Chain A
């Protein structure tokens, strides 16, 4: 089974609107971390936001927020007030367990922001 599933290969959003990128994860470990990264066309991977499995509140970082629904095993990224510079690939990732462990990445969602 896939550890991280991103079901939206591509999405379009109008500039200044909000957009939600979906991510579901699969783990039986009670301790895990969820991450979102942005990869612009230039290729670098940029860390956006982190949510720990024991965190009570949804993580927020500026225009980014993570809609964490533990029972549904989902960790959707919400980008508010989209900007043209938000056009990029977005990857959801999970660190399973604590200590030395592997990271798993989803297949990514290509977001295009239209003017």
Chain B
């Protein structure tokens, strides 16, 4: 158990809908990262937050947004969902600015029908 929690574990929804994925980092970790893992794209970095502020952005679509709250938990919002958004979404956390090892949560499996 990495200490990173993600909810829900599984999510099934329809195209055009909006969903929110939640992540709680390890106790004491200030950095949160979001990744998308799909079969054809591998593991793609989406976005990083540090202590509530966005710090690095990867291949995140405009339909996706994220935030980190004062209690350090983070949410990833996916809107206008498409079939291609079906993937495993991981959250990871690290203690400092990004130089430390990232520990991953169990992931949220999103299926868009």
Interface string of A38-76 (1 = CB under 8 A from B): 000001111100100000000000000000000000000
The answer to whether A43 touches B107 (Cβ under 8 A) is yes
- B51: min CB distance to chain A, Å: 11
Within 8 A of A (CB), among B24-54: 33, 35, 42-45, 48, 50
Within 8 A of B (CB), among A75-111: 91, 95, 98-108
Contacts of A101 in B (CB 8 A): 56, 98
- A34: min CB distance to chain B, Å: 11
- B42: min CB distance to chain A, Å: 5
The answer to whether B99 touches A99 (Cβ under 8 A) is yes
The answer to whether B56 touches A102 (Cβ under 8 A) is yes
The prevalent SS among residues of B at the interface is: strand
Contacts of B33 in A (CB 8 A): 103
Identify B104's interface contact among A44, A95, A98, A99, CB under 8 A.
A44
Docked complex Cα distance between A100 and B98 (Å)? 6
Binding site for A on B (CB under 8 A): 2, 33, 35, 42-45, 48, 50, 55-56, 58, 88, 90, 92, 97-99, 101-107, 109
- Can you list 23 A-B contacts (CB < 8 A)? A35-B101, A37-B104, A43-B106, A44-B2, A44-B104, A44-B105, A45-B104, A46-B104, A47-B101, A47-B102, A47-B103, A50-B101, A98-B98, A99-B97, A99-B98, A100-B97, A102-B56, A103-B45, A103-B98, A103-B102, A105-B44, A106-B42, A107-B42
Contacts A43-B109, A45-B104, A47-B104 given; 8 further ones with Cβ under 8 A?
Answer: A44-B105, A46-B2, A47-B102, A95-B98, A98-B98, A98-B99, A99-B99, A100-B56
